[in-house]
């Protein structure tokens, strides 16, 4: 929780108050990115005067991601480092961070600078007025530097919208902020497992609950350090299997 006049991003915490926003940062092998990302997030939250907590949820990264974050922010009790010891996985890490958070709004984002901190903070501000704010590459003002991946993702999202009946342009974004009260109405066991496929399950359930959604244009950057853990063909097959499973389960009224 911070005061906006602090030029160094060092928060002044009010232990009696609920944070405006909890930021969930799932990490694996992001030692070179996590510290500059958290610093930039603090600056952006200070700029808008929002009280916040940042939860770094690390899947036992062998490169020492958790230790780097813990050492860099040892004097900041608004940065919480959680080192997971069992059941690794992106969606499970996000779930653990959510369950240990306290903010009125919960913001989830990538930790490799694919998602820009300024965009993320804007989406968290939008989510204070609606149930769910979603970053989208495929509405006016959005995009990404890799044109091939942009085109392939765009086509795949059209397939998902037709197959699943979603009303969101970017079902694979993974950059979103949601009201805490809205999120905890959903069945976590149906959502938080697997990899990035958790996100389109969350969107489907939120749509079923008639939550209010606002899409915010975002422009994806490039990883600044380290290697990507995403393998395109493997992810493509995983997501396609999950789309097919959801189509079947919905057809027989089991989801």
| Every domain of the chain and the residues it spans | 21-251
Q: Which residue has the tokens 């990115």?
A: 33
Neighbours of 80 (CB within 10 A): 19
DSSP 137: S
Pair of tokens at residue 121? 């903070």
pLDDT the model gives residue 2: 39
DSSP 193: S
User: Among candidates 222, 220, 186, 230, which has minimal Cα distance to 206?
Assistant: 186
Which residues fall within 8 angstroms of residue 229, CB to CB, at 6 or more apart?
28, 29
Phi, psi of 194 (to 5 degrees): 80, -145
pLDDT the model gives residue 11: 44
pLDDT the model gives residue 221: 84
User: Fold for domain 21-251?
Assistant: Spore Coat Polysaccharide Biosynthesis Protein SpsA; Chain A (3.90.550)
Cα distance from N-terminal residue to C-terminal residue, the chain: 38
pTM for the structure as a whole: 0.91
Spell out the alpha helix ranges (H) of the chain. 31-48, 65-72, 90-99, 117-126, 147-164, 180-183, 188-191, 197-208, 232-251
pLDDT the model gives residue 197: 97
- List the pLDDT tens digit at each of the 255 positions of the chain: 333 333 334 444 444 579 999 999 999 999 999 999 999 999 999 999 999 999 999 999 999 999 999 999 999 999 999 999 999 999 999 999 999 999 999 999 999 999 999 999 999 999 999 999 999 999 999 999 999 999 999 999 999 999 999 999 999 999 999 999 999 999 999 999 999 999 999 999 999 999 999 999 999 987 676 565 556 688 999 999 999 999 999 999 999
User: Among candidates 144, 145, 194, which has minimal Cα distance to 173?
Assistant: 144
């Amino acid at each position: 929780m911070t005061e906006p006049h602090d030029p160094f991003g060092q928060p002044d915490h009010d232990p009696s108050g609920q944070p405006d926003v909890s930021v969930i940062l799932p990490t694996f092998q992001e030692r070179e990115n996590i510290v500059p990302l958290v610093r930039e997030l603090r600056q952006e939250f200070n700029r808008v005067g929002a009280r916040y907590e940042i939860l770094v949820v690390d899947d036992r990264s062998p490169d020492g991601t958790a230790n780097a974050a813990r050492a860099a922010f040892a004097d900041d009790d608004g940065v919480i480092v959680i080192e997971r010891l069992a059941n690794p996985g992106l969606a499970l890490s996000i779930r653990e961070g959510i369950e240990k958070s306290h903010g009125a709004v919960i913001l989830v984002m990538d930790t490799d600078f694919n998602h820009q901190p300024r965009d993320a903070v804007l989406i968290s501000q939008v989510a204070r007025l609606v149930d769910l704010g979603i970053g989208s590459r495929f509405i006016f003002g959005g995009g990404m530097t890799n044109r091939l991946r942009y085109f392939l993702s765009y086509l795949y999202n059209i397939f998902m919208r037709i197959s699943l009946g979603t009303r969101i342009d970017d079902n694979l974004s993974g950059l979103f902020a949601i009201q805490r009260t809205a999120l905890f109405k959903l069945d976590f066991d149906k959502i938080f497992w697997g990899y990035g496929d958790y996100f389109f399950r969350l969107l489907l359930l939120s749509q079923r609950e008639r939550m209010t959604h606002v899409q915010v244009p975002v422009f994806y950057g490039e990883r600044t350090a380290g290697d990507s853990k995403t393998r395109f063909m493997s992810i493509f097959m995983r997501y396609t299997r999950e789309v097919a499973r959801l189509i079947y389960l919905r057809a027989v009224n089991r989801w």
